[in-house]
């Protein structure tokens, strides 16, 4: 185990180091592309961290993403930049704890609907506040952050999220999560503190999403609720994680990278048919690959050999 572990660690570090050097060679557009991609990879990892093992499908991604973006906009002129990210993370954490305590008893479709509503609720609260208290809706972010700076921050965040996801999957906590996902009753009978485990994971995943929003927001210059709380972000994150396989360490990455590139290609080459193609992709993934690409490949591989002959007998 030890040599393999070492190999994995060094491969991980090598990949991160290579990615960190990328801005020295890449064109400005390349960096922009990587920023968008890393943003979604980080969101998908964050999403899968909680939703993968527990099987709680969350559509609250953009709620936290938007909180991050808004925190950045509100405090960009008062706080120093690193502090800004810290505050954003803390606010995301606070909201996640409150929301988690209140709702993690919900299950199944109720949870899905609740999380979808949560994003809208926060958006409306922000709107209400801006309308009635500050009297303006849009906020400006004038921060001297370069695209390279944003890229490196996102890379660091993604690496940290990946490492956390890896550490959790190997820990007792990861095992506990898997049991919760399989059967909550069994889990609680085995002495797992279900509520605390779920809450902790939900909060961690929310902090990652919040930070993605806070890091990316300076690129937009202008933030208003419809920009920060765009529900597409939630759906894309969900579908990326599902494509790769939310239960696997590499799943979110294998889902986010190809889908992101596909969307980029579609918007350039089929700007008029983007929505239709996106819908078809959603349907395909849900019907054909409900457990993700990785699972599909493995199962397909395993099935092919023994199943091939009995199938002929039937004929």
Partner 1 sequence: MISMKRRVLLRTGAVAAVTVATGFGRAAWAEERKSIRIGYAISKTGPNAGGAGITTLPNYLLWAKDVQDAGGLELPDGSRLPLEIVEYDDRSSAEEVVRAIERLANEDKVDFILAPWGTGFNLAAAPLFDRYGYPQLAVSAVTDKAPDFVKRWKKSFWMLGGGHDYAKALAAIMADAGKAGTLNGKVAMVSVADGFGIDLVSAARPAFEEAGIEVVYDKTYPVGTSDFTPMINEAKASGADSFVAFSYPPDTFAITQQAQVADFNPKLLYLGVGTGFPVYAKNNSENATGILSLGGIDPANAANADYRKRHEAVTGIAPDYWGSVITYASLQMLQEAIRRKGLDREAVAAEIASGSFETVLGETKLEDNQLRKLWWTGQWQNGQFVGIAPGDRAGASQLVLPRQSWKKA
Question: Which residues of the chain form contacts with partner 1 (CB under 8 A)?
Answer: 27-29, 32-33, 35-36, 39, 124, 127-128, 130-132, 135-138, 140, 216, 219-227, 230, 232, 264, 267-268, 271-272, 274-275
For partner 1, give the closer residue by CB, 8 or 264. 264
Q: How far is the CB of 213 from partner 1 (least distance, A)?
A: 10
For residue 14, the minimal CB distance to partner 1 (Å) is 28
Residue 223 β-bridge partners: 139
Beta strands 222-223 and 139-140: pairing type? antiparallel
**Residue 126: how many CB atoms within 10 A of its CB?**
21
Long-range contacts of 254-263 (CB under 8 A, 24+ apart): 254/292, 254/293, 254/294, 255/44, 255/292, 255/293, 256/37, 256/40, 256/41, 256/43, 256/44, 257/37, 257/41, 259/40, 260/36, 260/37, 260/40, 261/37, 263/236
Smallest gap from residue 132 Cβ to partner 1 (A): 8
Distance of alpha carbon 221 from alpha carbon 233, whole angstroms: 19
Q: Closest separation between CB of residue 110 and partner 1, Å?
A: 24
Residue (161 or 228) nearer to partner 1, CB: 228
Which is nearer to partner 1, 143 or 250 (by Cβ)? 143
**How many angstroms separate the CA atoms of 188 and 167, rounded?**
23
CA dihedral (277, 283, 284, 288) in degrees, to 10, reads 180
Residue 32, C-beta contacts closer than 8 angstroms, at least 6 positions apart: 147
Smallest separation, CB 231 to partner 1 (Å): 10
CB of 99 to partner 1, least distance (A): 22
Burial of 223 (0-12, 13-18, 19+ CB in 10 A): buried
Residue whose pair of structure tokens reads 């370069």 in the numeric block: 146
Nearer CB in complex with partner 1: 36/181: 36
Give the shortest CB-262-to-partner 1 separation in angstroms: 13
Our CB check for partner 1 shows the closer of 224 and 298 to be: 224
Considering beta carbons, is residue 112 or 266 the nearer one to partner 1? 266
State in angstroms the smallest separation of the CB of 15 from partner 1: 23
Task: Report whether 298 contacts 247 (CB < 8 A).
Answer: no
Of 2 and 232, nearer to partner 1 (C-beta) is 232
CB of 32 to partner 1, least distance (A): 4
Cα separation, 166 vs 163, in Å, equals 5
Complex with partner 1: residue 110 or 140, whichever CB lies closer: 140
In whole angstroms, give the CA distance from residue 16 to residue 18: 5
Token code pair at residue 237: 């994150």
Per-residue DSSP letters for 188-241?
HHTT--HHHHHHHHHHHHHHHHHHHHHHHGGGTSEE-HHHHT-THHHHHHHHHH
Nearer to partner 1, 94 or 138 (CB): 138
């Amino acid at each position: 185990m030890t040599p393999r572990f070492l190999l994995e660690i060094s491969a991980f570090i090598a990949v991160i180091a290579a990615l960190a050097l990328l801005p020295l060679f890449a064109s400005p557009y390349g960096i922009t592309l990587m920023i968008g991609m890393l943003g979604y990879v980080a969101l998908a990892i964050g999403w899968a961290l909680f939703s993968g093992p527990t099987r709680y499908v969350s559509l609250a991604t953009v709620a936290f993403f938007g909180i991050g973006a808004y925190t950045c906009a509100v405090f960009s002129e008062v706080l120093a930049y690193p502090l800004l990210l810290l505050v954003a993370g803390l606010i995301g954490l606070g909201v996640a704890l409150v929301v988690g305590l209140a709702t993690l008893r919900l299950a199944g479709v109720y949870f899905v609907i609740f999380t979808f509503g949560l994003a809208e609720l926060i958006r409306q609260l922000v709107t209400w506040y801006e309308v009635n208290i500050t009297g303006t809706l849009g906020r400006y972010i004038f921060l001297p952050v370069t695209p390279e700076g944003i890229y490196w921050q996102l890379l660091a965040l993604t690496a940290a999220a990946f490492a956390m996801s890896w550490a959790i999957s190997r820990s007792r906590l990861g095992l506990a999560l898997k049991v919760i996902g399989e059967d909550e009753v069994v889990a609680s009978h085995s002495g797992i503190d279900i509520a605390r485990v779920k809450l902790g994971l939900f909060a961690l995943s929310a902090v990652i999403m919040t930070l993605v929003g806070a890091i990316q927001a300076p690129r937009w210059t202008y933030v208003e609720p419809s920009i920060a709380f765009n529900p597409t972000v939630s759906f894309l994150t969900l579908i990326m994680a599902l494509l790769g396989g939310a239960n696997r360490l590499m799943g979110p990455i294998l889902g986010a990278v190809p889908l992101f590139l596909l969307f980029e290609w579609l918007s350039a080459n089929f700007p008029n048919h983007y929505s239709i193609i996106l819908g078809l992709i959603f349907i395909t993934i849900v019907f054909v690959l409900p457990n993700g690409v990785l699972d599909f490949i493995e199962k397909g591989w395993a099935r092919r050999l023994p199943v091939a002959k009995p199938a002929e007998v039937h004929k």
